[in-house]
Structure formats: C-alpha cells, structure tokens
Amino acid sequence: MKVLALSDTTKIVCAISTACAPACDSRFSFYTTDWKRLPASRYISLPALGDFLTTPDSTTIYAFEEVRNSVDLLLMKADFNKESSELTIALTTMDYLSDEVAGKLKEFYRGPVVYKC
C-alpha cells in the first residue's frame, strides 16, 4: 500500500493485493484518503503481454508468434519500491506454463515494466 500524490493537495491510496498458486497475480485498488473506493482504470493502465517482450527480428518472428499464441493467461506481480515512487510489474505467466513453453517465452522476455508514480 502506498499514498500517491496526484497534486500538492490531492492524494490517493493505492493498495496491491497479490495471490500466488503456483504463479502470482496482483490486483490494484485505489481509494481516497478517507477510504472511498476509486475506479482503478482512472489511475493505471496495466501492461499487455507485448510490453514485457522484445520485438522479434525477421529470423525469430515465427518462434515469437508461436510462443505468444500459446500464452492464454496474463499474470503479473506488482510491487512498490519502498525508497522511491516506482511501481514494478513483473510477468509471472511463465511460472504456470510448461517448462518448454516458459523457456521459449523467456527468450523474448525483456524484464519488468517500471512506472514512476
């Protein structure tokens, strides 16, 4: 949970809930400072699968498309940095895939997406 300053006078609370089994997945909730729920879509746009992956070149496009099409569930784990205003979202989809498919996906994995809050 973290208090985020939208302006000098407006602050909101962002709470991250994460469940793991076998792969972790996080959800976001936003609230006013007096705990009135706010629509999450107003404050965050979650990354898509392509945001975590490198762009394939012409020699790897077929392998990329094959592995991308085998991903049927997008799972992500989110964490706030305790010392800064960064939010890191890591792809955890690979944790539930077969070893073969996960290995192919890791070849294109760029790393987590980092937001500055």
**Is the CB of residue 60 less than 8 Å from the CB of residue 38?**
no
Delimit the domains of the chain by residue range. Answer: 2-116
Dump pLDDT digits (tens) for 2-25.
998 888 889 999 999 999 988 999
Other CB atoms within a 10 A radius of the CB of residue 12 amount to: 17
Which residues lie across from 2 on neighbouring strands? 14
Alpha carbon separation from 8 to 4, 5, 70 (Å, rounded): 11, 7, 46
Dump pLDDT digits (tens) for 56-96.
888 889 989 998 898 999 999 999 998 888 999 999 999 99
Tell me the whole-structure pTM to 2 decimals: 0.86
CA distance 54 to 18: 26
Measured in degrees and rounded to the nearest 5, phi and psi for residue 109 equal: -70, 120
Nearest to 10, CA basis, from 28, 33, 37 = 33
